[in-house]
Amino acid sequence: MGRDEMRAGNADREAVADQLRAALEEGRLELDEYDDRVRQAYAAKTYGELSPLLRDLPAAAPPAPRPVVAAPEVPSRELALRWLGEVWASWVAVVGMTSAIWAVTCLAGGDLQYFWPFWVAVPWGAVLVWVSLMGLATGEPRKQADKKVRKAERKQLKAAQREKNVR
């Protein structure tokens, strides 16, 4: 069995992806071609599937370390409170508006009417209580913070690519 038929590992696929990233940063690959090749690299099962992805590129020096956007160290409690605020913000706004409409109709009608905003607040609130409890139990605030960091990294990479294309 030759090397091309041998199974590639995660480290091999990651090394090819790093070389492709370096080629993108050097302007040797367009963004869409880079995306295609990286997809193929992560889908590759053998060394024979990885080698054609780099065949038309010069041998690169070891890839430069990726710029890492460090997530601001935010305490877990603060992350949880921020996440809960995002989860509950629309509920607070809608229940506030429906309650205000109810109050205005009571004042305009001159009598205390049935508190119908209850039917908006309670079922939706019960669902949000469940979502909040499950989200806190599964670490959703940290996952959301990490997702925002990854999005910022992608945005920086695209901005750097656009800047290189302008030059």
> Both 88 and 150 in a single domain?
yes
pLDDT category of residue 64 using cuts at 50, 70 and 90: low
Residue 167 lies in a domain: no
Residue 23 lies in a domain: yes
> Both 43 and 99 in a single domain?
no
The answer, yes or no, to whether residue 8 has pLDDT greater than 60, is: yes
The mean pLDDT of 118-145, rounded to a whole number, is: 94
> Both 85 and 151 in a single domain?
yes
Residue 71 lies in a domain: no
> Both 151 and 90 in a single domain?
yes
Residue 111 lies in a domain: yes
| Number of domains within the chain | 2
Mean pLDDT (the chain, rounded): 87
Of residues 131 and 2, more confidently modeled: 131
> What is the DSSP secondary-structure string of 122-159?
HHHHHHHHHHHHHHHHTTHHHHHHHHHHHHHHHHHHHH
The answer, yes or no, to whether residue 120 has pLDDT greater than 90, is: yes
pLDDT tens readout for residues 68-101? 555 555 568 898 999 999 999 999 999 999 999 9
Residue 87 lies in a domain: yes
> Both 94 and 114 in a single domain?
yes
Domain range for 39 is: 3-66
Residue 166, CA atoms < 13 Å, CB-side half-sphere: 6
Which of 27-31, 40-44, 63-67 is predicted with the least confidence, judged by mean pLDDT?
Answer: 63-67
CB 47 within 8 A of CB 4: yes
> Both 44 and 119 in a single domain?
no
Residues with Cβ < 8 Å from 40, sequence gap 6 or more? Answer: 49, 53
Among the listed residues 73, 33, 74, the one whose alpha carbon sits nearest the alpha carbon of residue 54? 33
> Both 55 and 7 in a single domain?
yes
The answer, yes or no, to whether residue 126 has pLDDT greater than 60, is: yes
Residue 110 lies in a domain: yes
